[in-house]
Amino acid sequence: MSQRTLPRLMQTPAVLLLLVWMLVPLGMTIFFSFIRYVLNNLRKPEWTTPNIDNWRGFGNYEYVLYKSKDFWFAVQNSVFIVGSIIVLTVALGLAIAVLINRSFPGRGMVRVLLISPFFVMPAVNAVLWINMLLDPVLGLNGLIVNGLNGVIDGLRDFPLLGNFFSFWPELQPISFRATQTSAYAVIVMVTWQWTPFAILIFMTSLQSEDQQQKEAAILDGASAWSQFVNLTIPHLARPIAIVIMIQAIFHLSLYAEIEIVSRGNGNKNLPYLIGEFASNNIGAASATGIFAVILANIVAIFLLRIIGKSLMD
């Protein structure tokens, strides 16, 4: 037995298990995506059992791409939501991590508080935001707008100044469940939840930043900004890459927030579209699933090309 055989043999069960775990569902999805398969149909009962006789080639794909309502909208939304969340969390995470990197009284406490949103469950996060903060009548959003309107109303009674405020329009609270805004609501709540993750990663790597280099830079008269751009950012390249990769993987499959905010109205992504098809049309749901796999791969390749380098260096 060569030196390699034994370890390979010992790995085999785990690898096989993983393969079965992955390949069986993927294989079934591919199979379902090429046949007619619905849960219930009174006209064509034969479609309700998955069977090779119901083969329809690329029919499901055609239906999803050209006939169903929201496919391209969902693809667009998937990319838009993931992209916005990544940009916001990295920017906020960097800023906050650098801010709390210096020592000040109560730092430990502040750090714990900053990280705590990450431990809130996604569904709870969504319910909290949409009902208590963003609701235009009973939530903070509505209360603030109401309060402002009240203040402006009061100011109108002032002499002179009142003339100015009488031109002030009555403010209307924004509804975050509307078609136009629901995607932003999802972005806001997921950003709130995931910024702590970025902070956590950046904070730990900032602690390994070379202080001597920084002192040298200060002696050379470098400004705080140029220190940040030329020393801190390159130092954080790898953690930033990790934060982007992990978040891209997680947020491509967002579901709970979308369901709770507006049930896919205006913020539908691919996983949500799959869920909608799966209420009856398993064939179309499977075809959409394959598209989601393709999209995830495109994003992965794209990300690896751009930021993979900083991981490999």
Partner 1 sequence: MKTIRTSALAATAAFGLAISANATELTIAIVNNGHMINMQKVAEAYTAETGVSLNWVALEEGVLREQVTSDTATGGGQYDIINIGMQEAPIWGAAGWIEPLNFGSSYDMDDILPAIRAGLSHEGTMYAAPFYGESSMVMYRKDLTDAAGVTIRDSDSWANIKGAAAAMHNPDNGVYGACLRGKPGWGDNMAFITTVVNSFGGAWFAADMRPTIDTAAWEEAINFYVDLLGNYGPPGSEGNSFNEILALYNEGKCGMWIDATIAASFLTVDGVAYAQSPNAGNPVGANWLWAWAMAVPAGSPNADAAKAFIEWATSKDYVQAVGNHPDFGWGSVPTGQRASTYALPEFQAVAGFAAAEMAAIESAAPAATDLKPYVGVQFAAIPEFPEVGIAVAQEMAAALSGAKSVKDALAASQSAADAIMSEAGYY
Given 130, 199, 292, 307, the residue binding partner 1 (CB under 8 A): 130
The minimum distance between CB 252 and partner 1, in angstroms, equals: 21
Burial grade of 257 (CB within 10 A; 0-12, 13-18, 19 or more): buried
Residue 254 CB partners (closer than 8 Å, separation 6+) = 81, 186, 190, 269, 271
Considering the rule CB under 8 A, would residue 230 count as an interface residue with partner 1?
no
Distance CA 313, CA 301 (A): 18
Identify which of residues 47 and 291 has a Cβ nearer to partner 1 in the complex: 47
Given 11, 180, 204, 213, the residue binding partner 1 (CB under 8 A): 180
The minimum distance between CB 70 and partner 1, in angstroms, equals: 8
The minimum distance between CB 41 and partner 1, in angstroms, equals: 6
Cβ atoms within 10 Å, residue 121: 10
The minimum distance between CB 173 and partner 1, in angstroms, equals: 5
Distance of CA 247 to the CA centre of its chain: 7
Considering the rule CB under 8 A, would residue 40 count as an interface residue with partner 1?
yes
Tokens of 179: 């078609």
Amino acid (1-letter code) at residue 101: N
Interaction pattern, residues 260-289, with partner 1; x per rule: CB under 8 A: -xxxxxx-x-------xxxxxx--x-----
Considering the rule CB under 8 A, would residue 204 count as an interface residue with partner 1?
no
Torsion of CA 256, 262, 268, 269, to 10 degrees: -20
Considering the rule CB under 8 A, would residue 187 count as an interface residue with partner 1?
no
Residue 75 CB partners (closer than 8 Å, separation 6+) = 270, 291, 295
**DSSP β-bridge partners for residue 55:** 35
Given 74, 177, 186, 198, the residue binding partner 1 (CB under 8 A): 177
Given 1, 10, 14, 42, the residue binding partner 1 (CB under 8 A): 42
- Applying CB under 8 A, the site for partner 1 has a residue count of 44
Considering the rule CB under 8 A, would residue 138 count as an interface residue with partner 1?
yes
The minimum distance between CB 126 and partner 1, in angstroms, equals: 12
Longest dimension (CA), the chain: 98
Query: Site residues for partner 1, window 48-87 (CB under 8 A)?
Result: 48, 63, 67-70
Identify which of residues 257 and 276 has a Cβ nearer to partner 1 in the complex: 276
Cβ atoms within 10 Å, residue 288: 29
Distance CA 149, CA 182 (A): 24
Q: Three-class SS of residue 55? A: strand
User: How many residues appear in the chain?
Assistant: 313
Distance of CA 124 to the CA centre of its chain: 16
Identify which of residues 45 and 234 has a Cβ nearer to partner 1 in the complex: 45
Q: What is the contact surface with partner 1 in residues (CB under 8 A)?
A: 38-45, 47-48, 63, 67-70, 130, 135-138, 142, 146, 172-173, 175-180, 261-266, 268, 276-281, 284
